[in-house]
Amino acid sequence: MSLLFPPVAQLYTEQARRDRARLAADPHRPAYHFTAPANWLNDPNGLIQYGGLYHLFYQHNPHATVSATKHWGHAVSRDLVHWEDWPIALAPAPGTADQDGCFSGCIVVHNGVPTMIYTGVRVDETGRKRQRPCVAVSYDGMVTWERHAGNPVIPAPPTDVDIFAFRDHAVWREADGWYHLVGSGIRQVGGAALLYRSDDLVTWDYLHPLYVGDMHQLDPLFTGIMWECPDFFALGDRHVLVVSVFDHLRGDTGAAFPMIHHSVYFSGEYADHRLTPTYAGLMDYGRSWYAPQSFTDDQGRRIMFGWLREERAFEVQKAAGWSGAMSLPRVLTMRPNGRLGQAPAPEVECLRGAVHSWEGLTLSSGKPWVLDGAAGDTLELVAEVRPGEAERVGLLVRAAPDGSEQTRIVYDQALGQLTLDTSEASLDPATRRAARHAPLRLPQGEPLRLRVFVDRSIVEVFANDDVCITSRVYPTHPDSLVVALFAEGGLARLDSLTRWEMRGIWG
């Protein structure tokens, strides 16, 4: 299927098409989650629906599979699912404030002109890496971008707070002007979202932090020393601040993967340009989801993408020729208690192909029940399970017929916990494997409702409209495709399970 319409047909980049064709046979390359044509991808940037198209910009190194020399990659879609590569929107320009990198940011439309607010990186004469807010505008429907002559538009961070980082942007309109958050960290205090105001997106006045975290607090959520990629929006009866916690001081996983990486949201009351949270939660309990950004589309939906980073050694990523993927688009909703609801955008259902379903099975302890006809590595699975007497109940995906590799999605009734366990997902020692847990208590009588998206090296799990866990898996056996159900410690009942083969998005 082609999304092209005549004026942009010539924009289609032949190189991107060749790269995608070259990499398509890689058994770990996602088929229906967005990836860069080749090489490195990280944060979603500048998400916006404009001129009838969804625009997905992203942090991109087009030259290698490592996180360096950041450009803004660009893709567009009419349906939020099928994407088309457009030329790179922004590349570091020698002699400018972004000569060493065009870091993350957002796009808003000001007086009809799409305007990008991003972090320009420039290493100064003393070797100091300066990260400062920059602006660029587009007059041709967001294909090419002109830098503002006065970049950086904020020459230095505020001086009345002792901060040690200053990057990434969320910009929104209020009745009296533009407001802008910059991600930061206040020394010895914690992550901070610093608030500015402007009439024209170019001259900014610093106000104060919208909200500041506490780096010493570990429970219920660890919010670290610095916040990247702030995102801020009204949803339902509250406002929501989403930040990505960057903390290289505290690792949860040992030397090979030393950093904390998770995205936290705070929902609460926004008044006098300050946020008073009444609830805080994790966007996704997996370890691969990071740096999300959201936007409102023309149906009024708040839609979010997150970066799914790799969980395998850098040499392997280099050999593969690509790194990083986007999550599925998620529609966010505000639940009564301030918790965020997340569901895959309904558009994703257009990828559903051959379908199989099962109903009314009793699951007993013992060997997992292999679902004939369910196997595959590009699947959507929708299951309703009543845990009954069972202590644990769940699904295996990407499992080898002999069980030597398997990814387990496990609900534990007593613990009130959902786990995505990739500790046996791969026999390859160069992959990171771990169990990740999310709190999930099923109200009396409510079944466990799982929606699981398997896309080769991605397993993205949505449970009961409440929690999400996403991880990366890299099975080594070509036949690690089995889907099975299991119960432990008693009988459970499968009300229904539907399995679709999912089509790829690149044609």
Question: What residues make contact with ligand FRU under the rule CB under 6 A?
Answer: 42-43, 59, 70, 103-104, 119, 167-168, 228-229, 290-291
Name the minimum Å distance from CB 462 to ligand FRU.
Answer: 23
Give the C-alpha separation, 290 to 71, whole Å.
18
Could you tell me how far CA 254 lies from the centroid of its own chain? 23
Coil vs helix vs strand at 348: helix
Of the two residues 98 and 168, which places its CB atom closer to ligand FRU in the complex?
168
d(Cα 97, Cα 124) in Å, to the nearest integer?
Answer: 10
Shortest Å, Cβ 251 to ligand FRU: 17
Handedness of CA 45, 456, 329, 446 (dihedral sign): negative
Asked whether 385 and 495 are in contact (CB, 8 A), the reply is yes
Residues 137 and 116: their CA atoms lie apart, in Å, by: 6
Q: Considering the complex, state which of residue 242 and residue 409 has its C-beta at the smaller distance from ligand FRU.
A: 242
Task: Find all residues with CB under 8 Å of 414, minimum gap 6, and list them.
Answer: 391
User: Token pair of 90, please?
Assistant: 């922004």
Residue closer to ligand FRU by CB (options 104, 407) is 104
Least CB distance from residue 248 to ligand FRU, whole Å? 11
Annotation marks residue 140 as catalytic? no
- DSSP code, position 38: S
Beta bridge partner(s), residue 484: 370, 396
For the CB of residue 67, give the shortest distance to ligand FRU in the complex, in Å.
6
**At closest approach, how far in Å is the CB of 193 from ligand FRU?**
13
Which tokens is 216 given?
A: 């010493």
Report the candidate in 265, 413, 273 with the shortest Cα–Cα distance to residue 341. 265
The strand pairing partners of 194, in sequence order, are: 182, 209
Q: What string of DSSP letters covers 245-269? A: EEESSS-SS-TTS--EEEEEEEEEE
Q: Residue 49's beta-bridge partner residues?
A: 54
CB of 477 to ligand FRU, least distance (A): 32
Closer Cβ to ligand FRU, 118 or 506, answer by number: 118
Choosing from 19, 43, 85, 168, the catalytic residue is 43
Nearest distance, CB of residue 59 and ligand FRU, angstroms: 4
Number of alpha carbons in the 13 Å side-chain half-sphere of residue 187: 6
Cα separation of 431 and 408, whole Å? 16
Question: Residue 316: which H helix or E strand, with range?
Answer: helix 314-320
Question: Could you give the CA distance from residue 112 to residue 404 in angstroms, rounded to a whole number?
Answer: 57
**Active site amino acids:** 43
